[in-house]
Structure 1
Amino acid sequence: MESQSALTAKPAPDSTAGGETPRQKTTKNRKGKGKAPPRPPVKGQSRAKAKQRATRLAARAKEQAAQKETKPAAKPAPKSPPKPTPKQALKPDSKAPHKDPIYAPARQARAKKRHWLLLWSFLLCVLIPAGLSGVYLWERAVDQYKSSLGFTVRREEAPSAVDILGGLTNLSSASSSDSDILFEFIQSQELVEKVHARMDLQSVYSRYYDQDPLFSLAPDSAIEDLLAYWQRMVQISYAPGTGLIELKVLAFTPEEARAIAQMIFEESSKMINTLSAIAREDAMRYAREELDQAVEQLKVARQSLTAFRSRTQIVDPSADIQLQMGLLTTLQQQLGSELINYDLLVTNTQANDPRLQQTEQRISALRARIRQEREKFGGGGVAADGDNYATLVAEFERLSVDREFAEQKYAGALQNYDAAQAEAQRQSRYLAAYLNPTLAQSAEYPRRVLIFGLVCLFLLISWATLALIYYSLRDRR
């Protein structure tokens, strides 16, 4: 050992001087015959002994290689090469033959406790519930029969002869659709109560409760429970674009399913007729109110005109004015004749002639009368009841216009009312069935295969989720 350490301490010869580096010597020794090949394992030995033997042989081969590297180093090198880093020392030579590393043999897999727990959880969480659900569906679930029904709401839009009814028609069309109202009515508690009053739904749907509690109604259920069960047994589909409504009514006998579907159709038809009656009554009510207002307005106008005639004692101010104008014309003619006579007397008689005085008196009287008659048409005179003709004519014209307007309005309102009454005699909305209630011959519900598949799927998903959660928590420890 001392000689080996002494030889190791001497500097190695330089590669330029004909010497060899330790790495080249190691590569040469690996290529030479000094390397001891590993022996094959003896028959009968175990794998562990073979592994130990291979390890000992490899260590012995490394020691022999190290001894051969230190012996030929005789001449010192001028410079000692830098010591290789651990990575360079561990890096194998590219010229050396590559050999596969020897790994320890894998142990034989054995079932552990967690594997058995996972298997038992799959049995308890998936297989047993799925089996119980299958037994219930095929052994205890009662057959259900389907009755199909399809209908739509038809509306007759008759052209209206009056504007008010046309406005009402547009208002009705702009409101919510009758099919939407009917869709909500079929799922409402009101319809359930009406059908329940005609046919005891609680006894029909709770008949097989002892045998099939999952698909049956409890005997002592309230109206809210009956409504929830009704929405399960009456499946409704509605297309808003076309307005078609299709129903699938389920019951435990085909006759009961068809009877319930027929009752639904009858009650829906009554509801639509009620809506039509309300719309017609609204239209008639508006027309009737307008007619009453027109009648009242016409009465007031005629009463005002009658009161004016009673107060002024003038039936028609226009005719009275014509009479006054005729009287004024006559007075003016007489005044003109008297003026002519007066001029003749002045030229032919003396100044103290009594005929001149009489003529002058007649002229003065005619002029005073003409002035009074003219004042009746102006603001200073009084014609009747302290008013002049201008005021009387203005009041009479106002009352005449009010009466004419009231008469026209009454005529239009009466026409509207007659048209609304004629429209009320027609049914503008009605329920048209394009598919009458059918009578089933075989049971289609409950859909056992679909329900069983969904139960198995959800059980498997739930079990797999819980198992993944368990293993994720276990790996975190």
Structure 2
Amino acid sequence: MTTKPKAKKYCWRRNRQGADSADARADAISRIRKATQPTEAANDAAPATDIDAIKREGLTGRQLRVARRLAQKNGLAATSDYDAVRLLRKQGIDPFERTNLLDLAAEKARAEDLAKDKIKIQLPQTISDSSQGLPGPELSPAERRNLEIGEIQKDIARRRKRKLFALFARLAAFVLLPTLIVGTYFYRYATPMYASDSAFSILQADGGGASFGGFLAGTQYATAQDSVATQEFLESKDALVRLENDTNFSEIFKQEWIDPIQRLPQDATLEDTYKLFRRMITIGYDPSDGIIRMEVAAPSPEISVELSTLLLSYAEETINGLTELKREDQMRDARAGFELAQDERRRAQEELIELQLQGAVLDPENVLAGLRARINAIEIELQEKELQLAALLDNLRPNQAKVDGVRADIQRLEVVLAELNAEMLDASAGENSLARLSVRIQMAQADLVARDMMLQTAMEQMETTRTEANRKVRYLTVSVNPVASQEPSYPRKFENTILAFLLFAGIYLMISLTASVLREQVSS
């Protein structure tokens, strides 16, 4: 497919701007005169039928359009202007011959006259400047190309300027104007706030056990949980409620001279006050050194120092409460075990005393031992008397008086021995016997000894627990006390303005990128 020359569109636009029949005929005649002079010598030779050779002839756009109209007049189906020249030359028609050009111009003039006769003009028409339709000098292809390139560059420059203007307009509307509004507020309308800084830490009592927790004693990790709990308390609504009850915190920020953005409304709820409280109170915990830093902002330096002091006192009470709670938790079990050991020992003592009173003796074992000793003594004496009687009876003529006396002693000893055995039997048999009572007393004594040992162990455990609990006591130490500020700390005008500019610029950039991506997706 052959491409049409670039100069065609430009020449056709300029020809169309110009426009009545007389000018067209004059223009055509002048063009024909210029065009036939170089082609007469070329027609003497064999006409070029190759399209590439025709392109190298340097034909103007007007000559190519004339050739196309002449080919249409002769009924030749040409695919391009150069193809029309080629077909006309193959038919033996010179498209640039004077007679052919004059006929074509005359036919065009007749067509225009017929068109004017058919149109009845009833309204006055504007008359174009005839100087615009005058034929100009022919431009070479290089000049036409440079001219078109210049127009394209100018068009690109105009579009670039329009885009830059639109970009600056959007930046001014969505970035610079909001930044100007924010900066104006910070520099002219924002109420100055005075901040008081304080720092405190939570320490553990000296000393530590041999367990793994003892290795952490004295470091910031031993009190990390308490520090975090204190920070959470100071940032909670509980601290706000206590501060409201003590200083009427909300009324401080309801004063009329405070700017509307930082001022609380007269009917402010607890949630509104809490949001302002979170903005005015800044608390940070550094786990590397275990120090809690607090900054309190207020409309005046005296109020700021007062609020800081109250919050420090609340933190100290919280730490004391947590310490007392931990001590109570640790001592509860030890104290319960000690009290149980005391009750069991008291019960064992009462049981022993009751058993001793039940037998009316202090020591049933000694009673039984005494009975056994007496029985043994009687048995020994009875054996001696029996031996003595046997010795007397061994005589041929024993002394009857001695024999009767010895027999009487033996009988008396047997009676006493029987009584002692009966007493011993009574003491050893039955539910209330001394032997059973002795065994129960021995068991009660052993139980009492065991209860004494358990009571001593419980007492030692309670003392150990008390010592450990005392070692885990937490103390709040204020390292930096709040001091009244002489110059306002807030608002930070320049920093806040720059931050607002970066924020609006980032939002605009995100929206622009999103719109560009969506536009690219839709256009593709």
Q: TM above 0.5, one fold?
A: yes
Which whole-Å deviations, capped at 9, do the CAs of 1:132-154 have from their partners, x for residues lacking one?
Answer: 22221211111222211111011
Contact persistence 1:298–1:410 (CA under 8 A): yes
| Structure 1 residue 238, shift from structure 2 partner | 0.7
| Structure 1 residue 159, shift from structure 2 partner | 6.4
Contact persistence 2:206–2:471 (CA under 8 A): no
1:142 to 191, 195, 206: 191
Distance 1:283 1:470, change over 3 A: closer
SS in 1 for 2:283: strand
Distance 1:385 1:299, change over 3 A: farther
1:400 to 445, 452, 462: 445
Matches within 5 A, 1:55-74: none
Distance 1:296 1:134, change over 3 A: same
SS in 1 for 2:274: helix
Contact persistence 1:144–1:443 (CA under 8 A): yes
CA distance in 1, matches of 2:433, 2:234: 75
Q: Which residue of 1 aligns with 2:177?
A: 128
Contact persistence 2:368–2:427 (CA under 8 A): no
1:222 to 256, 269, 274: 269
1:361 to 389, 401, 411: 411
Is 1:275 aligned to residue 322 of structure 2? yes
SS in 2 for 1:476: helix
CA distance in 1, matches of 2:88, 2:64: 20
Which whole-Å deviations, capped at 9, do the CAs of 1:207-244 have from their partners, x for residues lacking one?
Answer: 35x65222333333222222222121111111234321
CA distance in 1, matches of 2:511, 2:223: 53
Is 1:319 aligned to residue 339 of structure 2? no
| Structure 1 residue 405, shift from structure 2 partner | 2.8
Matches within 5 A, 1:212-251: 212-251=259-298
Contact persistence 1:36–1:61 (CA under 8 A): no
CA distance in 2, matches of 1:64, 1:286: 118
CA distance in 1, matches of 2:510, 2:466: 71
Contact persistence 1:345–1:355 (CA under 8 A): no
| Structure 1 residue 396, shift from structure 2 partner | 1.4
Q: Which residue of 2 aligns with 1:206?
A: 254
Contact persistence 2:427–2:435 (CA under 8 A): no
CA distance in 1, matches of 2:325, 2:336: 16
Contact persistence 2:392–2:399 (CA under 8 A): no
Contact persistence 2:205–2:470 (CA under 8 A): no
CA distance in 2, matches of 1:337, 1:403: 46
Is 1:298 aligned to residue 318 of structure 2? no
**How many pairs align?**
400
Contact persistence 1:151–1:432 (CA under 8 A): yes
Matches within 5 A, 1:158-237: 158=207, 177-207=225-255, 212-237=259-284
**Which ranges of structure 2 fall in alignment gaps of 5 or more residues?**
1-49, 68-79, 91-141
More deviation in 307-316 or 193-202?
193-202
Q: Which residue of 1 aligns with 2:204?
A: 155
SS in 1 for 2:394: helix
Distance 1:36 1:151, change over 3 A: closer
Is 1:38 aligned to residue 87 of structure 2? no
Contact persistence 1:334–1:366 (CA under 8 A): no
Contact persistence 1:331–1:370 (CA under 8 A): no
CA distance in 1, matches of 2:328, 2:462: 12
Contact persistence 2:382–2:410 (CA under 8 A): no
Q: Which residue of 1 aligns with 2:475?
A: 430
More deviation in 220-229 or 457-466?
457-466
CA distance in 2, matches of 1:258, 1:420: 41
2:306 to 259, 267, 270: 259
Which whole-Å deviations, capped at 9, do the CAs of 1:98-136 have from their partners, x for residues lacking one?
Answer: x9x969544425569x96877655443333322222221
CA distance in 1, matches of 2:258, 2:65: 75
Contact persistence 1:191–1:267 (CA under 8 A): yes
2:436 to 378, 391, 401: 391
CA distance in 2, matches of 1:413, 1:220: 60
Alignment RMSD, CA only?
Answer: 4.7
Which whole-Å deviations, capped at 9, do the CAs of 1:361-393 have from their partners, x for residues lacking one?
Answer: 3464366456546x64xxxx5448644554333
More deviation in 101-110 or 331-340?
101-110
> What amino acid is aligned across from residue 183 of structure 1 in structure 2?
Q
| Structure 1 residue 264, shift from structure 2 partner | 1.4
| Structure 1 residue 62, shift from structure 2 partner | 8.3
Distance 1:302 1:194, change over 3 A: same
| Structure 1 residue 308, shift from structure 2 partner | 0.5
> What amino acid is aligned across from residue 432 of structure 1 in structure 2?
T
The share of aligned pairs that are identical, in percent, is 20
Q: Write 1 or 2 for the structure with the bigger share of helix.
A: 2
CA distance in 2, matches of 1:60, 1:158: 107
Contact persistence 1:342–1:356 (CA under 8 A): yes
CA distance in 1, matches of 2:471, 2:51: 116
**Which ranges of structure 1 fall in alignment gaps of 5 or more residues?**
1-28, 40-49, 70-98
Using CA pairs under 8 Å that are at least 6 residues apart, name the structure with larger relative contact order, 1 or 2. Answer: 1
Q: Which residue of 2 aligns with 1:445?
A: 490
Distance 1:155 1:394, change over 3 A: same
